[in-house]
Every structure is written in structure tokens, then in C-alpha cells.
């Protein structure tokens, strides 16, 4: 026999097992290989941790993924810190992962290599996308922190090397949580402002953790998307970041970036002196050539006074000929105008207009008389129609009155009241039913007799049938 108090439900038993496991097995470190990795839309990660002789289910919830920089993959050897528990809904023993890092290589180093491989495969490092630095630089945009020594070093180099350029600082944090997004935002703002000829993304040296913002994917894509050429100057010469691979040019230090972005002032002055000397020499050569040509032209040019007198004489002759032609033309046109005026008087429209006015007056008088005759004719017709209509209405009324009298006489003959006036009567029962037979009434019942001058109420005492 068994004790009923020792019987558990399945859920109670699983809850007891779960408490036993959680209270007796501490959080521990395990090493194994990731397999059956699943990443549902909830953001949690589920996988199995296995070795050559066994495996166990694992759950890595989204809140515990904040410090994981690399991308877990099937087959990756990892070291995990986990708390054992029992998933009561299915009765599965599992580990709740609190921290995970790759075996043999650091968390950040693996994340660096994974992102580097991913972006390289996408072509973000290809030389065909690298933008050349402009030959002329008026404004340099610096994406860095205003509190660091980077901006001061850049300004110091520019003051010595190329003091003509204006420096715009896009202040941002360069280290810590969320710094990659802020640097990317500053790059986008500087690029969209269209004020800078070149951008310098700069930071001082530090550990891999300190420089990690420049290894984030969001920053790499912001550098690649920018239209303005970008120089990456992150850390010391030995430091390498993802931003260095994506940028158009990598500088070993921020000071070197300032030198790459601008030409040397002394070199520019030397070039300017050479150009000035070349221009001066070329100007003297051109001037000498033109002076020689001018002398040759002066020798071949005829006497200007003699040419001027000749042209003046020809001009006077042409002026005299022109005046004669103008007078002849004016006289001819005046004669033509006189002839046309005489012809026009013969075809003057005044007589025709007077004749048409008389015809119009006559037509107007005839139209008015015709309208008056037509009005009188229609009035006579309307009066005749009115008389015929009145006569027809009166005849119709007389005929309808006679017909109504005949119908009234016929109705009077058929009226029950007329029958009663001749000595007849109508008997009805209490329910106003007309008596048609002695069978419709019983002795003792009350009945009403309708006469021409009133009603008689009586009670039946005797019934005789014929």
C-alpha cells in the first residue's frame, strides 16, 4: 500500500526538482561547443553546449547579451558561466547563460575578426570606393572630443603647416556605451552640412576596449555612406580599427592626419615663387613678340591722312546721290497718292449708304404694318375661340346638371327612407341585425322598428308563421 500524501502531480514534482537543482547546484563555468543555435524574433538565443560524450540545452536571454561583442556560431568553442535550472513546462534540464566568451581568443578580438570579414566580403574595404583627398582645402571637419588632446594637436599642426584652413569641430564622445552611435551621428551631420572639404575622425591611443567604438558596425557604415572624404586617425600607429579599413585614408596619428589633409605652406610658397617666375618670363616673351608684330604692321600701314581724305570725298558723293534719290522717290509717291485719292472719291460709299438707309426705312414701315395686321387677326381669332369655349362650357354644365337630376331621382326611388314614407317599416334586433324571417327572433327578445318619422322599441310576446 502507498501513502496518498506521497503522491505528486507532475507540475508539483517538476517544481520540487527545479528548487532542488537551483538550491544545491551553484553557478559554474563550463566549456563546450555551440550547436543547434536558434535566434527567434524575441531576441533570446537558444543552443546546445556539447562535448564528445554529452550535451545540454542552454538559454541566453536578451538582457544578458549586452556585453557580448562577437557573433556566436555553430561549432564555436566557448566558455560560459551558467546557472542550472529545470524548464518545468517541458521537464527539460537546461542552463541559463549569464556570460559567454570564445575559447582561445578574446571576446572583443573575435568580434573584431568577424565584423572585419563580414564588411570585407560586402566590399566596404575595396579601393574602388575610396575617395581622393581634394587638392584645395578650405575647411576641415574634425570628429572628436573637445576635452582630449587630439583637437589641440591637429590645430597646432595646421597652424604651422597650413594656417589658411578653417577647422570645424564636431564634438562627440569617443569612448563608452553608445559612443559608436554618437560618432556615427556626428559624421553624418558633418557630411550633410556640406561645409567641409575633408573630415578627420580622430582619437588618442588606448586599449582595445577603449577603442572599441571604432570597431562597431554602425560607425563603419556611417563612414562608408559619407560623401566627404574621410581620414581615420584612431589611436597610435600600431592600433588598427575597422574604421581604418573603411575610411578613404588611414593616418597613424591625428597629427599625421592633419598633414595628410593639407599641403605644406613652404612647399606652396616654393611652387608659388616658381609659378610667379615662369609667369613673369612668359609675359616678357609675349610682350616682345607683340612689339615686333606692331612694328611690322606700322611699316605696312598706308598714310592715314590720305586715306581719310579719300573716304571723305567718296562719302560726299554718296550723300549727294542719296539726296537726289530721296527727292525723286518722294515726288513719285506724292503723284501716286493723288491718283489714288481721285479714284477713291469715285467709289465713295456715302451715296450707297444713303440709298440703303431709305430702303431700311421702307422695310421697317412695311414690317410694322404687317405686325399690326397680324396682331389684329390673332385678336379676332382669340375672341372667337373665347366665345366658343364659353358656349361649350355652358352646354356641358347644362348636360351634367340634367344627368345629375336623373341620378338623384333614381336614388330617391331606391332610398329606404322613401319606402318608409309609403307606410313600410324596418325591424332590427339589439345587435342592429335586420329581421328577414320569424326564425331570426325569439319570444321575449327586444327589437327596434324604424318608421319614417321615428323608432319603436318593443318586446316579442308571440310569433305566428304563415
Among 252, 272, 273, 268, residue whose Cα is nearest residue 162: 268
Q: For residues 167 and 83, what is the distance between their CA atoms, to the nearest angstrom?
A: 54
Among 253, 201, 194, 249, residue whose Cα is nearest residue 222: 201
Q: Under CATH, to which class is 111-263 assigned?
A: alpha beta
Q: With 60 as the cut, is the pLDDT of residue 1 above it? A: no
Which of 176-185, 270-279, 338-347: highest mean pLDDT? Answer: 176-185
Which of 153-157, 406-410, 430-434: highest mean pLDDT? Answer: 153-157
Exposed, middle or buried by CB within 10 Å (0-12, 13-18, 19+), for 428?
middle
Element (H, E) at 192: helix 179-193
Least confident of 70-79, 159-168, 351-360, 389-398: 351-360
Exposed, middle or buried by CB within 10 Å (0-12, 13-18, 19+), for 419?
middle
pLDDT tens for 5-51 read 677 777 878 788 878 887 788 888 888 888 888 888 888 889 988 88
Q: For residues 15 and 86, what is the distance between their CA atoms, to the nearest angstrom?
A: 8
Q: How confident is the model at residue 189 (pLDDT cuts 50, 70, 90)?
A: very high
What torsion, rounded to 10 degrees, do the Cα atoms 303, 304, 309, 314 define?
A: 100
pLDDT tens for 338-367 read 777 776 666 666 767 777 788 888 888 888
DSSP bridge pairs for 28:
82
Query: Cell 573575435 appears where?
Result: 110
Among 69, 102, 86, 433, residue whose Cα is nearest residue 446: 433
CATH-assigned architecture of domain 4-104: Beta Barrel (2.40)
Mean pLDDT of 130-137: 87
Q: For residues 179 and 144, what is the distance between their CA atoms, to the nearest angstrom?
A: 11
Q: For residues 232 and 363, what is the distance between their CA atoms, to the nearest angstrom?
A: 105
390 near 397, Cβ under 8 Å?
no
Domain ranges of the chain: 4-104, 111-263, 266-295, 413-429+445-460
Least confident of 29-38, 199-208, 338-347, 447-456: 338-347
pLDDT at residue number 176: 82
Amino acid at each position: 500500500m502507498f501513502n496518498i500524501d506521497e503522491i505528486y502531480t507532475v507540475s508539483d514534482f517538476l517544481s520540487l526538482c527545479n528548487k532542488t537543482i537551483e538550491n544545491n547546484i551553484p553557478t559554474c563555468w563550463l566549456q563546450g561547443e555551440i550547436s543547434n543555435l536558434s535566434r527567434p524574433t524575441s531576441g533570446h538565443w537558444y543552443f546546445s553546449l556539447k562535448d564528445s560524450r554529452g550535451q545540454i540545452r542552454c538559454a541566453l536571454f536578451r538582457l544578458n547579451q549586452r556585453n557580448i561583442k562577437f557573433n556566436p556560431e555553430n561549432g564555436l568553442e566557448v566558455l560560459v558561466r551558467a546557472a542550472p535550472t529545470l524548464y518545468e513546462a517541458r521537464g527539460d534540464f537546461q542552463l541559463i547563460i549569464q556570460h559567454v566568451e570564445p575559447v582561445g581568443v578574446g571576446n572583443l578580438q573575435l568580434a573584431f575578426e568577424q565584423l572585419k570579414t563580414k564588411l570585407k566580403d560586402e566590399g566596404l574595404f575595396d579601393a574602388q570606393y575610396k575617395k581622393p583627398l581634394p587638392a584645395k582645402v578650405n575647411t576641415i571637419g574634425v570628429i572628436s572630443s573637445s576635452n582630449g588632446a587630439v583637437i589641440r594637436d591637429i590645430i597646432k599642426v595646421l597652424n604651422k603647416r597650413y594656417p589658411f584652413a578653417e577647422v570645424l569641430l564636431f564634438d562627440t564622445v569617443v569612448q563608452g556605451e553608445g559612443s559608436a552611435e554618437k560618432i556615427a551621428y556626428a559624421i553624418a551631420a558633418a557630411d550633410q552640412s556640406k561645409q567641409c572639404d575633408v573630415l578627420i575622425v580622430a582619437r588618442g591611443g588606448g586599449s582595445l576596449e577603449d577603442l572599441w567604438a571604432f570597431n562597431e558596425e554602425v560607425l563603419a557604415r556611417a563612414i562608408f555612406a559619407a560623401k566627404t572624404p574621410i581620414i581615420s586617425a584612431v589611436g597610435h600607429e600600431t592600433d588598427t580599427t575597422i574604421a581604418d579599413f573603411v575610411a578613404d585614408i588611414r593616418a597613424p596619428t591625428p597629427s599625421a592626419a592633419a598633414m595628410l589633409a593639407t599641403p605644406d605652406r613652404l612647399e606652396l610658397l616654393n611652387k608659388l615663387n616658381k609659378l610667379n617666375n615662369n609667369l613673369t618670363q612668359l609675359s616678357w616673351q609675349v610682350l616682345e613678340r607683340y612689339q615686333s608684330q606692331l612694328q611690322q604692321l606700322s611699316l605696312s600701314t598706308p598714310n592715314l591722312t590720305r586715306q581719310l581724305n579719300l573716304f571723305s570725298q567718296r562719302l560726299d558723293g554718296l550723300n549727294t546721290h542719296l539726296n537726289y534719290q530721296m527727292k525723286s522717290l518722294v515726288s513719285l509717291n506724292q503723284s501716286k497718292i493723288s491718283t489714288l485719292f481721285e479714284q477713291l472719291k469715285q467709289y465713295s460709299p456715302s451715296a450707297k449708304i444713303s440709298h440703303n438707309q431709305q430702303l431700311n426705312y421702307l422695310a421697317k414701315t412695311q414690317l410694322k404694318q404687317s405686325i399690326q395686321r397680324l396682331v389684329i387677326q390673332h385678336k379676332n381669332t382669340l375672341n372667337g375661340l373665347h366665345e366658343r369655349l364659353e358656349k361649350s362650357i355652358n352646354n356641358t354644365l347644362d348636360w351634367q346638371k340634367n344627368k345629375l337630376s336623373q341620378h338623384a331621382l333614381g336614388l330617391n326611388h331606391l332610398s329606404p327612407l322613401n319606402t318608409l314614407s309609403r307606410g313600410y317599416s324596418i325591424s332590427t334586433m339589439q345587435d342592429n341585425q335586420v329581421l328577414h324571417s320569424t326564425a331570426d327572433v325569439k319570444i321575449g327578445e327586444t327589437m327596434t322598428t324604424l318608421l319614417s318619422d321615428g323608432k319603436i322599441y318593443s318586446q316579442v310576446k308571440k310569433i305566428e308563421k304563415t
